[in-house]
Amino acid sequence: MNERETQKITKNENIIIKVEEDSIAEEMGIEPGDVLVSINDTEIKDVLDYRYLIQDEYIVVLIRKPDGEEWELEIEKDDFEDLGIVFESGLMDKAKSCSNKCIFCFIDQNPKGMRKTIYFKDDDSRLSFLQGNYVTLTNMKDEDLDRIIFYHLSPINISVHATDTEVRKFMLKNPKSVKIIEQIEKLANANIKMNFQIVLCKDINDKEILDKSIEDLSKYINLGCSMAIVPLGVTKYRDNLPQIESFTKEDSIDIIKQVEAWQQKLYDKYGTKFVFLSDEFYLKAEKELPKGEYYEGYPQLENGVGMITLMEEEFFQYFNTLKGDNIKRSYSVATAKLAYPLIKKLCDKICEKFTNTKINVYEITNYFFGETITVSGLLTAGDIINQLKGKELGDILFLPGNCVRANETVLLDDLYIEDIEKQLNVKVCLSNDNGGEFIKQFIGG
């Protein structure tokens, strides 16, 4: 959700802000500023209604013009063909905020003065389908679950954290959290595909509690499910929160062994590993990351599961097709601790083949959140500026693409890419995490 969506959506009025060129909507005379009132005499409450109702070949659309005039448009089109209209809100409604008080919630670990949208806690099932967000289901009413089943929206991404009801209630601080298995069963009986996530917290939902969660959730493998385990990100802003230790190298080694044993057991029984660990566990354990085939098509890539492996494979697949040159180039790359070894390795390979190319790779320590935070998506402009002042930056400084929101240029500390450019006197571009595209940003092609 962008700031406009979270702050300005006050009522369910589906205002059209854009009409795609050569679309059905343009042909029918629909314009920005118009309001979509109904489809087939059904009021459009949100994006789920809209997506469901436009599926038919013949629909009747009621549009209200800015002057109050209403147009009833009869439209014939292909099945599932979109009308080509963009709404003021992607959800066509307010996002539903979260009522949990999770002990691991990253939003509660943020200081003041950050980008405003950071402080909005969403737990909206519609964002699960639209953007891949994970939801706890605790903020859903029975009718919300019924809508998912009625529309057969799939997959839904569920933050489970623990199937032990007492542990889950402790972690989420919400009495409704104990209904999780009942809710999952209801979705499973309707053949809704689910992906699961566990934020692992030391001495809380790990060890035998993790065993129980894997065992309980693996019962839904037949729905094509997958499960990711990611470590809790501990910032320095936990004064009013339970104090939780980060996993050590030895802890991570033990967790890898525990999960690998489950993977073998489940693969032997079902032909799929089902449960996967995020890359952070392997890096913390100082173990080599698994190869690409291990990840079974990367079903949990957005959770950081196999991201490094995939980028490296894409890199060498393209790199090995290239011939070097001696064109003079000078760049710099800033990244966080977690990705630094990979980015440095790939940039060194580029410089070996393209002998007159120089790429300085800088590891940025996260002083803003605390040094335990090592992912590039949580880098701030202040840390980047302070640590790169006086450094050799070349013609372009590349920053991780995930340190800003899509189609935006503002970082978490409410400073912009333009602020970095001004302070460091260098052009800044966002780097691509696709391995092949990563090479192209330096050498063209």
The DSSP result for 342-362, as a single string, is HHHHHHHHHHHHSTTEEEEEE
Is 398 in the same domain as 426? yes
Cα 440 to Cα 268: distance, rounded to the nearest angstrom: 41
Q: What is the pLDDT of residue 437?
A: 95
Is 232 in the same domain as 317? no
Is 411 in the same domain as 359? yes
Cα 420 to Cα 428: distance, rounded to the nearest angstrom: 8
Q: What is the pLDDT of residue 85?
A: 84
Which percentage of the chain shows pLDDT scores above 90?
55
Is 324 in the same domain as 263? no
Is the per-residue pLDDT at 1 higher than 90? no
Q: Which of 136-140, 165-169, 300-304 has the highest mean pLDDT?
A: 165-169
Q: What is the pLDDT of residue 78?
A: 84
- The pLDDT of 24-33, averaged and rounded, is 92
Residue 74 lies in a domain: yes
* H/E segment holding residue 197: strand 194-200
Cα 220 to Cα 275: distance, rounded to the nearest angstrom: 12
Is 278 in the same domain as 144? yes
Is the per-residue pLDDT at 302 higher than 90? no
CATH code, 46: 2.30.42.10
Q: Tens of pLDDT along 58-96?
A: 989 999 999 999 999 999 988 768 888 887 654 444 444
Residue 210 lies in a domain: yes
Is 297 in the same domain as 345? no
Residue 397 lies in a domain: yes
- The pLDDT of 37-43, averaged and rounded, is 88
Q: What is the pLDDT of residue 408?
A: 80
Which percentage of the chain shows pLDDT scores above 70?
84
Q: Which is nearest to 36 in space by CA: 92, 82, 76, 94?
A: 92
Whole-Å CA distances, 401 to 2, 275, 409, 434? 17, 27, 10, 11
CATH code, 373: 3.40.50
Residue 235 lies in a domain: yes
- The pLDDT of 187-216, averaged and rounded, is 94
Cα 183 to Cα 209: distance, rounded to the nearest angstrom: 20
Per the CB < 8 A criterion, the answer to whether 417 and 428 are in contact is yes
* Least confident range of 44-53, 271-280, 295-304: 44-53
- The pLDDT of 202-220, averaged and rounded, is 96
The DSSP result for 287-338, as a single string, is -PPPPGGGGTT-TTGGGTSSHHHHHHHHHHHHHTT-------EEEEEEEETT
Q: What is the pLDDT of residue 382?
A: 95
- The pLDDT of 181-201, averaged and rounded, is 93
Number of domains the chain is built from: 3
Q: What is the pLDDT of residue 92?
A: 44
Is 71 in the same domain as 197? no
Q: What is the pLDDT of residue 11?
A: 47
Q: Specify the pairing of strand 226-231 against strand 156-159.
A: unpaired
Predicted TM-score (pTM) of the model is: 0.74
Residue 81 lies in a domain: yes
Is 129 in the same domain as 210? yes
> What is the domain range of residue 41?
3-87
Q: What is the pLDDT of residue 111?
A: 58
Token pair 């050498």 is found at 443
Confidence of residue 3 (pLDDT cuts 50, 70, 90): very low
Is 30 in the same domain as 168? no
Q: What is the pLDDT of residue 2?
A: 41
- CA 436, distance to chain mean position in Å, is 21
Which has more pLDDT, 123 or 248? Answer: 248
- Long-range contact pairs involving 184-188 (C-beta distance under 8 Å, separation at least 24): 184/158, 184/217, 184/220, 186/145, 186/149, 187/145, 187/148, 187/149, 187/156, 188/220, 188/223
Q: Tens of pLDDT along 373-391?
A: 888 888 999 999 999 999 9
Q: Domain boundary at 59, 87, 115, which?
A: 87
- The pLDDT of 243-250, averaged and rounded, is 88
Is 346 in the same domain as 324? yes
> Is the preceding peptide bond at 66 cis, omega within 30 degrees of 0?
no
Is the per-residue pLDDT at 320 higher than 90? yes
Q: What is the pLDDT of residue 241?
A: 64
Is the per-residue pLDDT at 8 higher than 90? no
Q: Which is nearest to 103 in space by CA: 211, 244, 227, 236?
A: 244
Is the alpha carbon torsion for 348, 352, 354, 356 positive or negative?
Answer: positive
Q: Domain boundary at 305, 332, 355, which?
A: 305
Is 301 in the same domain as 337? no
Q: What is the pLDDT of residue 99?
A: 55
Q: Tens of pLDDT along 248-299?
A: 999 999 999 999 999 999 999 999 999 999 999 999 999 999 999 999 999 9
Q: Tens of pLDDT along 355-365?
A: 999 999 999 99
Is 287 in the same domain as 377? no
CATH code, 141: 3.80.30.10
Mean pLDDT of all residues belonging to the chain: 85
Per the CB < 8 A criterion, the answer to whether 197 and 227 are in contact is yes
Q: Domain boundary at 286, 305, 324, which?
A: 305
* Least confident range of 73-82, 177-186, 282-291, 335-344: 73-82
Q: Which is nearest to 360 in space by CA: 323, 328, 398?
A: 398
Residue 94 lies in a domain: no
Residue 70 lies in a domain: yes
* Least confident range of 44-58, 152-166, 412-426: 44-58
Q: Which is nearest to 382 in space by CA: 337, 338, 414?
A: 414
Q: What is the pLDDT of residue 86?
A: 81
In single-letter form, the type of residue at position 178 comes to V
Q: What is the pLDDT of residue 261?
A: 98
Residue 100 lies in a domain: no
